[in-house]
Amino acid sequence: MENDKFKMEKVVVNGKEEIRLQGVIDEDTDFASLEKTQGPLYLNLSGITGINSLGIRGWVNFWKSHSDRPVFYVECPPVIVRQMSMIPSFCGHASVVSVYAPYICNHCEAEQLVLVESEQLSATPPNISESFACPKCQAGEMELDGSPRQYFAFKK
Amino acid sequence: MSLSSTKNRSCIDGVKTGLFSKQEGAEVILQGTRHVHSSLLGTSDPCWKITQELILGKSLSYPWEIGIETKPLVLKQSQKRNECFEAIASTTHFGYKTQNRDRLRLILEELLSNSLYHAYKNKKEEDKYDRLSSVTLAPGEEVRVFFGENSGGLHVVVEDHGGSLTFDHFSKCFNRCVHQTKSHIAFDDKHAGAGIGLYLVFELASHLRISVQRGKLTRFSLWLANSNQFDPDSFSFNFFEE
């Protein structure tokens, strides 16, 4: 069920149905409307802006009670990737299709999210760009903001 | 990082130093250890020496507990938690970076909620306020937040005057979370966040010092390293109870 902090929307991307989640997952989030959908579930998480401990509990418990259903996490933002790495059961039985990696310029501190697809994630360590020229200032290098080992710890 | 493969470790009752992962550190805490230091320096770590002095009752600060020049932010209403976060994020260089902001937001959400909802007890020693409702603290009750920063990161202190947290309770919460995060068992719905909040704070902070004066004060003092300087193997956890 939606509330003023959290929304779900069904969209079709390249002929594939996805559920887009947007907003904050907390104690008021109700995942019941996900039960109305059938078959494999592609959850696009790119619009999630925050999650707290009660939201994590609700999320983990919901998926533990629906472990027979194939679930795919698509375009996971850093706030979700961090939970996947800290709380192993956050991923549950889901397969991670793609995640966003946060990069920051070592010169002007401009930030950019770069999508890391499943083929890149399947390599150990993940096959991501170590750095690239900053598109904003052109003077610095964009580098992963944080420790790659820690950020991609959910792959263990 | 294997517990058995690292040299330069020390383990006396309730105290452990060496080089651990956060997960290993959590397991050590579950075994009853109140002081855990992970550092390449092992027993030569200056923070470790300070912990030994603190255990002996001396009054010292860790190097990461840098001077705080700001007045405390005083919180009495649960709806004002986000204002508290914004007050820190918008006035520090640390808060300029999204990854730092996200980490700070989550930590404050958990610590402020813990203090607002679990610090103050009724006559039956039960939580006075319901976690699922908005709350305004009674006169004499408050949550105070201090912060300060340098180029390496941010120092945050969250304290309440409940003084109700015990190491026993902390480790029970931790136990529920550490073991259930790895298992297929659902989290316990009866226990607020089931310990997840405290576990997240432990995971996200580089250094965490909890000081409790029973019935008087619970104080969380944390060092949040900048995201580009965050070393997951270098951390400390200390729980002091009077």
Is the pLDDT at A95 greater than 60? The verdict is yes
Q: How crowded is residue B122: how many other Cβ atoms within 10 Å of its Cβ?
A: 9
Nearest to B25 by CA among B193, B234, B215, B181: B234
Task: Find which of B81, B92, B100, B106 to mutate to test the A interface (most A CBs within 10 Å of its CB).
Answer: B106
Q: What is the pLDDT of residue B4?
A: 39
SS3 category, B113: helix
- In angstroms, what separates the C-alpha of B96 from chain A's closest C-alpha? 9
Distance CA B130, CA B119 (A): 12
Task: pLDDT tens for chain B, 242 residues: list them.
Answer: 444 344 455 555 568 898 988 888 988 998 899 999 999 888 888 999 999 999 998 989 999 997 777 779 999 999 999 999 999 999 999 999 999 999 999 999 999 999 999 999 998 888 999 888 899 999 999 999 999 999 899 999 999 999 999 999 888 888 877 776 565 555 655 555 557 899 999 999 999 999 999 999 999 999 999 988 888 889 999 999 98
Which amino acid belongs to residue B152?
Answer: G
Instruction: Locate B131 and state its tokens.
Output: 């976690």
Tell me whether residues A147 and B185 touch, CB distance under 8 A: no
Q: What is the pLDDT of residue B7?
A: 43
List, for residues A6-57, the tens digit of each pLDDT value: 999 999 888 888 999 999 999 889 888 888 877 889 999 999 999 999 999 8
ipTM: 0.90
Q: What is the pLDDT of residue B140?
A: 93
The CATH superfamily label for domain A1-96 reads STAS domain (3.30.750.24)
The answer to whether residues B32 and B12 touch, using CB atoms and an 8 Å cutoff, is no
- In angstroms, what separates the C-alpha of A94 from chain B's closest C-alpha? 13
Distance CA A89, CA A103 (A): 26
**What percent of chain A is predicted at pLDDT more than 70?**
98
- In angstroms, what separates the C-alpha of A83 from chain B's closest C-alpha? 9
Tell me whether residues A82 and B197 touch, CB distance under 8 A: no
Q: What is the pLDDT of residue B186?
A: 56
Domain boundaries along the sequence of chain A: 1-96, 102-156
Q: What is the pLDDT of residue A68?
A: 85
Domain boundaries along the sequence of chain B: 64-241
Task: Find which of A24, A31, A54, A141 to mutate to test the B interface (most B CBs within 10 Å of its CB).
Answer: A54
Tell me whether residues B193 and A87 touch, CB distance under 8 A: no
The CATH superfamily label for domain B64-241 reads Histidine kinase-like ATPase, C-terminal domain (3.30.565.10)
Q: What is the pLDDT of residue A2?
A: 63
